[in-house]
């Protein structure tokens, strides 16, 4: 069964601290996406990682991709309250056509 | 800034009734997706269109769900009859092509009573 698993599922952290969210996937894919979702809102694209070793950074967030390990990380540096949200990774894979699977999500709460 | 439009934002219905959701993608986006998101879970792809053609509906419960994109622009997702387990957020997304960044609409929250 194809799976995209994230850990942790829930994360409560203090402002100013660093932490990493992990995304493991079970299918062959060379492209991985990170999204953010605020409560009751839709999804906002954060990063698209296009190849093995890709690294992208935006503000306090940095994402990386290791296609050999089938692992992506989302690193949070010096967290601030505004980063509180649920973060999803997603992969696409070829099965006739390109299909899309989202991860389980990581609910992040940054405490002031 | 261009957005994906969805309506209605909220829908309450009784089981066995029919419901329909509408989505208007960003102009020029050839690929359109419908997702279902159950509270506390990630979105699950229901159907994917490339222009007016369905390219993937393997996860669409075809006994009760249908989707169309007749002119390759806006799209409608229908459920008939609705069941209690259909209560969820229904999200529409569009992109310039498959494997490109998807832009999501605000969603339609469905409650089936």
Residue A27's pLDDT band, with cuts at 50, 70 and 90, is: confident
Under 8 Å CB-to-CB from A101, ≥6 apart: which residues? A2, A3, A4, A25, A27, A90, A91, A92, A93, B45
Q: Do the Cβ atoms of B112 and B82 come closer than 8 Å?
A: yes
Q: What is the CATH number of domain B15-99?
A: 2.60.40.10
Per-residue model confidence (pLDDT) at position A99: 84
Residue B22's pLDDT band, with cuts at 50, 70 and 90, is: very high
- Residues of chain B that touch chain A, judged by Cβ-Cβ distance less than 8 Å: 33, 40-45, 48, 55-56, 58, 91, 93, 98-99, 101-107
Mean predicted confidence (pLDDT) in A29-42: 90
Per-residue model confidence (pLDDT) at position B72: 86
- B63-82: buried (b, 16+ CB within 10 Å) or exposed (e) per residue? eebbbebeeebebebebeeb
B55: nearest CA in chain A?
A: A97
The answer to whether the Cβ–Cβ distance between A42 and B44 falls below 8 Å is no
Q: Is the pLDDT of residue A100 over 90?
A: no
Per-residue model confidence (pLDDT) at position B99: 79
Under 8 Å CB-to-CB from A67, ≥6 apart: which residues? A29, A30, A51, A52
Q: Is the pLDDT of residue A92 over 90?
A: no
**What is the DSSP secondary structure assignment for residue B102, as one 8-state letter?**
P
Give Dmax (Cα) for chain B: 39
User: B49-75: per-residue pLDDT in tens?
Assistant: 999 999 999 999 999 999 999 888 999
Chain B interface includes A31 (CB < 8 A) = yes
Scanning A67-106 for CB atoms below 8 A from B yields 88, 90, 92, 96-105
Chain B interface includes A25 (CB < 8 A) = no
User: A66-89: per-residue pLDDT in tens?
Assistant: 999 999 999 999 999 999 999 999
User: B72-102: per-residue pLDDT in tens?
Assistant: 899 999 999 999 999 999 999 999 987 788 9
Where do the domains of chain A lie, and which CATH numbers do they carry? 4-111 (2.60.40.10)
The answer to whether the Cβ–Cβ distance between A45 and B55 falls below 8 Å is no
Spacing of C-alpha A48 from chain mean position: 10
B90: nearest CA in chain A?
A: A42
Domain positions in chain B are 15-99
Per-residue model confidence (pLDDT) at position A51: 86
A68: tokens are 């050999």
The answer to whether the Cβ–Cβ distance between A45 and B58 falls below 8 Å is no
Per-residue model confidence (pLDDT) at position B101: 87
């Amino acid at each position: 069964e194809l799976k995209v698993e994230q850990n942790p599922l829930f994360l409560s952290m203090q402002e100013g601290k660093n932490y990493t969210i992990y995304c493991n996937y079970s299918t062959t894919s060379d492209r991985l996406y990170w999204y953010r979702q605020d409560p009751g809102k839709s999804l906002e694209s954060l990063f698209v990682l296009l190849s093995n070793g890709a690294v992208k950074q935006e503000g306090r967030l940095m994402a990386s991709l290791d296609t050999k390990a089938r692992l992506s990380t989302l690193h949070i540096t010096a967290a601030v309250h505004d980063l509180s949200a649920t973060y999803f990774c997603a992969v696409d894979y070829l099965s006739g056509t390109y299909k899309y699977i989202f991860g389980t999500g990581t609910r992040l709460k940054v405490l002031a | 800034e261009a957005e994906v439009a969805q309506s209605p934002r909220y829908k309450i219905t009784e089981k066995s009734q029919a419901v329909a959701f509408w989505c208007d993608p960003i102009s020029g986006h050839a690929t359109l997706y419908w997702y279902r998101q159950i509270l506390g879970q990630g979105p699950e792809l229901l159907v994917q269109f490339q222009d007016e053609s369905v390219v993937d509906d393997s996860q669409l419960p075809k006994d009760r769900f249908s989707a169309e994109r007749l002119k390759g622009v806006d799209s409608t997702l229908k459920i008939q009859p609705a069941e209690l387990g259909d209560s969820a957020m229904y999200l529409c997304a569009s992109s310039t092509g498959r494997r490109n960044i998807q832009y999501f609409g605000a969603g339609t929250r469905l409650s089936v009573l």
